[in-house]
Amino acid sequence: MVAGKSNGVPKGQRAGESQSSMPADHCQLPIHYLRRLMEKKKQIVMSGIRPTGFLHLGNYFGAVRNYVRMQEEYECYFMVADLHSLTTHPDTTELKTNVHRVLAENIACGLNPDKVALYCQSHLHETCELYLYLNMLAYKGELEKTTTFKDKVRQQPDNVNAGLLTYPVLQTADIIIHRALYVPVGKDQEQHLEMARNFVNRFNHRYGQIFPEPAAYNFGEKLVKVPSLDGSGKMSKSENQFATLYLNDDDELIRKKVMRARTDSGPTATNSAKPDYIENLFSLMNLVSNEGIVKKFDEDFNNCTIRYGDMKKQLAEDMVRFISPIREKVKSILSNEKYLKEVMEKGAEKARISADATMKLVREAMRFNYF
């Protein structure tokens, strides 16, 4: 199937046109057969994870847990964005350690390298080729207007490199090289996704319908709140160290952080509204404690008999119970370099099958067929 000829295929079906594992020879097969084959295929999901910093509880409930859910239902490509990290971290001495850590953390949280393609961006060279083509369709003006670019210009005025400017172009290449439909990302990435759709439409318009439009995927109301422990905002890397629980924290540190969380002398009227910082403790408890326990403390609050010290002790123990197995699993994975190597090799191999099929279509559509 020559790229340009798929123009008549309705949009919905084009989206499923994920021949990622379909060898090029199948392109000679009749269209009704191909359609059936495509219908049976799972829809494609792609996301990238920056190898900077340690995973915290907010990352777990906000992102990783969603990847883990999606791996059952979709054809998933999850990538460590090591090339993107060069835009802000040109010093690569720590890169290997960071890449290993990100892989180990995601696996420890339940990502299964047998079910998904878990790979490193720098191992999939085809992405760089697609990035180059897309760069010719991306304009300086729109790139300069990107919020993340403007933020970085402020943060690192001495290193406003071209990679930073074209960050959304590389991200687009990451996504569309698998002709992915869904991209599970946070709100901060929505503008990049919108740019990706623009680049896709420009490409498709100029060279033929190769790519479906990727959309941000979020779990809507299922998105849970992971508040920080100091009662201000979400758990995040930039918060003060004691307000965020990392999956790497040891048991004592977890207890210490939870016990330091802000409380007060308790409610004085029955059934009163909870102050934000108390509501936050309940939100955290909802994530890791069993229902009966949360209910008990809720009732205690409503009766004005709640003892915040007891509540925090309970929360601390439930956090330890939740985090410590993940932390230990990360450690054990990190100590097995051979396993990590196999994961990366297998991931790259899967990603390459998908990327090869796309790049064949791309080169053909762009008429790089000189002989």
Residues with catalytic function: 152, 234, 237
Question: By C-beta, is 80 or 319 nearer to ligand TRP?
Answer: 80
Please, what is the minimum distance in Å from the beta carbon of residue 96 to ligand TRP? 19
Please, what is the minimum distance in Å from the beta carbon of residue 180 to ligand TRP? 8
Restricted to residues 67-126, the positions that interact with ligand TRP (CB under 6 A) are 81, 84
* Residue 197 binds ligand TRP (CB under 6 A): no
Residue 164 sits at φ, ψ, to 5 deg, of: -65, -45
| 201-206, long-range: CB < 8 A, 24+ apart | 202/137, 203/133, 203/134, 203/137, 206/137
Mark the segment that binds ligand TRP (CB under 6 A) among 44-52, 65-73, 108-116, 325-333: 44-52
Question: By C-beta, is 186 or 325 nearer to ligand TRP?
Answer: 186
Q: Which of 48, 208, 212, 227 binds ligand TRP (CB under 6 A)?
A: 48
* Residue 59 binds ligand TRP (CB under 6 A): no
Q: Closest Cα partner for 321 from 293, 295, 301?
A: 293
Question: By C-beta, is 81 or 116 nearer to ligand TRP?
Answer: 81
# residues contacting ligand TRP (CB under 6 A): 12
Question: b/e per residue, 126-165, with b = 16+ CB within 10 A?
Answer: bbeebbebbbebbeeeebeebebbeebeeeeeeeeeebbb
Provide Rg for the chain, Cα atoms. Answer: 23
Question: By C-beta, is 50 or 237 nearer to ligand TRP?
Answer: 50
Q: Which of 46, 143, 177, 278 binds ligand TRP (CB under 6 A)?
A: 46
* Cα pseudo-dihedral 232, 236, 239, 242, rounded to 10: 90
Residue 45's SS3 state is strand
Burial class of 196 by CB neighbour count within 10 A (0 to 12, 13 to 18, 19+): buried
Question: b/e per residue, 95-121, with b = 16+ CB within 10 A?
Answer: beebbbbbbbbbbbbebebeebbbbbb
Q: Which of 106, 189, 289, 358 binds ligand TRP (CB under 6 A)?
A: 189
- Contact status, residue 98 vs residue 56, Cβ threshold 8 Å: no
Residue 110's SS3 state is coil
Mark the segment that binds ligand TRP (CB under 6 A) among 152-160, 182-190, 202-210, 226-234: 182-190
* Residue 171 binds ligand TRP (CB under 6 A): yes
Residues 6+ apart with CB under 8 A from 43: 15, 16, 18, 74, 75, 181, 182
Question: By C-beta, is 126 or 298 nearer to ligand TRP?
Answer: 126
Please, what is the minimum distance in Å from the beta carbon of residue 179 to ligand TRP? 13
Please, what is the minimum distance in Å from the beta carbon of residue 98 to ligand TRP? 14
Burial class of 360 by CB neighbour count within 10 A (0 to 12, 13 to 18, 19+): middle
Q: Which of 26, 35, 50, 225 binds ligand TRP (CB under 6 A)?
A: 50
Question: By C-beta, is 9 or 118 nearer to ligand TRP?
Answer: 118
Residue nearest to ligand TRP (CB): 48
Question: By C-beta, is 117 or 254 nearer to ligand TRP?
Answer: 117
Q: Which of 174, 249, 318, 364 binds ligand TRP (CB under 6 A)?
A: 174
For 117, the enclosing helix (H) or strand (E) is strand 117-120
Please, what is the minimum distance in Å from the beta carbon of residue 336 to ligand TRP? 26
Residue 47 sits at φ, ψ, to 5 deg, of: -150, 155
How far apart CA 287 and CA 297 sit, in angstroms, is: 14
Please, what is the minimum distance in Å from the beta carbon of residue 162 to ligand TRP? 17
Please, what is the minimum distance in Å from the beta carbon of residue 216 to ligand TRP? 9
Which positions lie near ligand TRP, rule CB under 6 A? Answer: 46-48, 50, 81, 84, 171, 174-175, 183, 185, 189
